[in-house]
Amino acid sequence: MKSTIYDYIVIGSGIAGLSAALRLSKFGKTVMISKNSLKSGSTHYAQGGIAVALDKSDAPSLHYQDTLEAGAGLCDSEVVKVLVEEGLERVKELIDIGAEFDKKGSQFDFGQEGAHHRRRILHAKDETGKEIERALGTRLLKEPNITFLQNTMVVNLCIKNEKAVGCVVLKGSKYERLSAKATIIATGGCGQVFSHSTNPSGTTGDGIALAYDAGCLIQDMEFIQFHPTTLYTGDKKPISIFLISEAVRGEGAVLRNIKGNRFMKNYHDLRELAPRDIVSRAIVKECIKSGSNHVYLDLTQISGDLSVKFPNIYRRCLIAKIDLTKDFVPVSPAAHFLMGGIKVNEWGKSSIEGLYSTGESACLGIHGANRLASNSLLDGLVFGYRCGDYVRKNENDLNENWDVGMVFNGVNSEKLAEFQVLKYQIKEMMWKCGGIVRNQQLMQEGLDFLKSKEDCLNTEYSHIIYYELKNIFCVSKLILDFGLKRRESRGGHFREDFPETDNLNWKIHQSTGKKMTPFLN
């Protein structure tokens, strides 16, 4: 097996990984690993924008308060303070290296989204993530110490003497051993464990599953954010469902039920701009009342040219034969963002020495039980930088003398087909048992299903489909385990058998580790 030595390994190529790698590559040999192409992660598809209190009428303290309120009582106030304050400097740096955001004249054109009490969303039309990725990627390409490995999957984290010393990757059918002083997981979330998801196809919880198998503490996995407004496609089931950005509701789009009546006034004072968990559940209730599978999003009263304001959404809807200027858009919720993940501190340090995480794969407590809209890009930018900065200052030991200790087996087309079927079955089960509305019976049914399929993963196979299935299996079990144990409703976790929020007993974080005492509260 080929072996390569780096100073730093960054797994993932979204905004968090780019921010960390940009900081690290100035100080040492850095490799960035992407399972697919470098532009295949969630950052590339992020539409709405990046939240930051740059406007004169705004302040970090107001952004801080909105973040805490959206988080349903579980945000870590200290890391939220870091987010909103250091976010100002990081965004200014982003603009300095060439990121271009929309302006009105010489001033930034700030948008507004759900649960924000100020217009503070910087955007580049409805392709903000792509613009940020372009700016960071272009700057990173100028660094001589950076190496990119595309279409390469990390299949094992290697721990020696309780310290992360590197990883094993699979590229095609060949394995390679990578050693480094530190490893940073920035693989994003796990939306693809659900059959309905806005996430790109590769978002299968890989980094979280790798960390869990290595013995890391994992936290808050019950909190999944379901985005309220994704394009409803009927019987067609694309791998990734097209998201209709919350920015359109910020500009005045309204939700209507199947009869054409507005309904959000019945659920929250902020109506269409209520927190995402509330809007998603309201849509579910309206669908149940009417027997429909969707509601409508009405953009017809938004002023200005929609093809200019939201060109990506406009084009995608035209493909579906929907004209935003005169047609209602059929929408329904889908899995979107994970508030939980690998338990880390404010510098991205996990419970294993030498192993770090940042971005959506990490859980610092920034987002609590429900993320505030457009805080995800800011999270990746701020804490990716902080993680990279801490690693380059504190990780100096390199151990290249370790064995893989893995047995790999070839796989035939019949076995691959079996894996694909099981992958589909798990995703359908998770939408039913761990989706927007949960209860004990459904979650236990899901866990029983997973238990009945455990034997399918007993043998290691040399194929990306096997490893993705293995990771989906692991993360699905974590989500259901965490959800079953939290006997209340809060933020992205709603139980119809425990519909109230219980601050007396459950205003706490849950964490667990494969090689440690399960479920530490």
Residues 317, 284: contact at Cβ < 8 Å?
no
Other beta carbons less than 10 A from residue 104's beta carbon: 8
d(CA 126, CA 105): 19
Q: Is 276 a catalytic residue?
A: yes
**CB 231, CB 358: distance < 8 Å:** no
Phi, psi of 460 (to 5 degrees): -80, 125
The 3-state secondary structure of 441-500 reads HHHHHHHHHHHHCHHHHCCCECCHHHHHHHHHHHHHHHHHHHHHHCCCCECCECECCECC
- CA dist 219 and 341 (Å) reads 6
CA 233 to mean position of chain CA atoms: 23
User: 267 exposed, middle or buried (CB, 10 Å; 0-12, 13-18, 19+)?
Assistant: middle
Give the type of residue at 451.
K
Residue 177 exposure: Cα atoms within 13 Å on the Cβ side: 15
Rounded Cα distance, 63 and 74, in Å: 16
Contact predicate 384/50, CB 8 Å = no
Q: Phi first, then psi: give them for residue 314, nearest 5 degrees.
A: -60, -45
Q: How far apart, in whole angstroms, are the C-alpha atoms of residue 80 and residue 78? A: 5
How large is the angle between the packed helices 464-485 and 206-214, nearest 10 degrees? 80
Eight-state DSSP code of residue 388: H
**Beta bridge pairs of residue 353:** 163
From 90, 276, 281, 392, the catalytic residue:
276
Active site residues: 276
